[in-house]
Amino acid sequence: MSEQIPQKEKSPLETFREEMRDLKATEMKRKEEWESRGHTGEKYDPHFDDIEPELLADKDRIIWHKVKNQTLTREELGQYRQELAEELKTASPEEKKSRGTFQAMAVNKAAFIVKRELEELNRANKKEK
């Protein structure tokens, strides 16, 4: 009888980093294909050139989860950006670049916030009429 070694459950942060590693690998493959086509056709997300998944932190994970689920609010995004700016004051150059670029990507992907707010304004305006 062989003894089974229990699998250590991954932390939410490790699961997030794994997801980012997978996304980065996909984007780097797309970059390679894009470059081989002479920079034509489908592009890749250049943020992943500078994002190092192992340097991302739990705050980044939380923001990413909210971005993916489109539940992030403008206030939460602002708070994240302020806290990140403080944390990066003492971070290594590599961490500053990686997490700063991750923040830029998250902000770009959070365009749904503006869309949601515009839809709410439109609904409110229609009710007033």
Question: Which pLDDT value is given to residue 6?
Answer: 65
Q: Comparing 25-34, 60-69, 114-123, which segment has the lowest mean pLDDT? A: 114-123
What pTM value is reported for the model? 0.81
Question: Is residue 56 a contact partner of residue 20, using CB atoms and an 8 Å limit?
Answer: yes
Helix (H, G, I), strand (E, B) or coil at 119: helix
Question: 34 CB contacts (<8 Å, ≥6 apart)?
Answer: 40, 41, 42, 43, 44
Question: 58 CB contacts (<8 Å, ≥6 apart)?
Answer: 12, 13
Q: Looking at the predicted structure, is the pLDDT value of residue 73 above 60? A: yes
Residues in the chain: 129
Sequence spans of domains, the chain: 12-128
